[in-house]
Amino acid sequence: MQVEFYENATAGSSVTQLQCTDLDLGPNSALVYSITDGDPDSYFNISSSSGKITTARNLDFEDAQSYSLTVEARDSSSPINSQLASLSHVDVIVTPLNEHAPAFSQPSYNVTISENTTIGTTVYQLLLQIMTPARRVRLRSPCPAVHHSTLTRSAGLL
């Protein structure tokens, strides 16, 4: 099973509800759910009786982009050595959010050009940066405040 989950979800948010059935009758049919692998830092909880998986902590895309959980459903047979179990895998994909606004390296730019500059001549290149804790991305982008000129979207040329 694969579940996509936004990184801004708070601790206690519902991830998914697992369902397992046991054809035994009586107390032997009661199931106990547990996460047996894939969560060494305890980012998730599972209800032992219902199989509902929730977040135990806030998820952050910059820390981990996915988690691969192994979940066990075990019956309540007695004696304990006669209990049977089944495993399921739950892949939680953390979806990033746009958390950081792009920023110019300075608040304003002054460019002096000659009045006889040929139309189409590049006079300045603007660069935008998006900063995140894990990476720096440089973008060349148009600036909507520039009037009476042409700003190329792909190169940030003015």
Sign of CA dihedral 115, 117, 122, 124: negative
Average pLDDT taken over every residue of the chain: 79
pLDDT value at position 90? 94
Cα 95 from chain centroid (whole Å): 3
How confident is the model at residue 136, as a pLDDT?
Answer: 43
Residue 92 has a pLDDT of 94
pLDDT of residue 135: 47
Residue 26: CB atoms within 10 A of its CB come to: 7
Q: Is the pLDDT of residue 51 over 90?
A: yes
pLDDT over 50 at 1, yes or no? yes
Q: List strands edge to edge, sheet with 136-139.
A: 103-104, 128-131, 136-139
Q: What's the mean pLDDT in 77-106?
A: 82
* Full set of structural domains in the chain with CATH: 2-95 (2.60.40.60), 100-158 (no CATH)
Strand partners, 104: 128
Percent of the chain past pLDDT 70, that is, above it, reads: 78
Q: Are 25 and 37 in contact (CB under 8 A)?
A: no
Say if CB 25 and CB 36 are below 8 A apart: no
Q: What is the mean pLDDT of residues 83-90?
A: 90
d(CA 14, CA 5): 10
Spatial separation of the C-alpha atoms in residues 30 and 49, rounded to whole Å: 8
**More confident: 59 or 126:** 59
At 114-156, the pLDDT tens digits run: 888 888 888 887 776 665 554 444 444 444 444 444 444 555 5
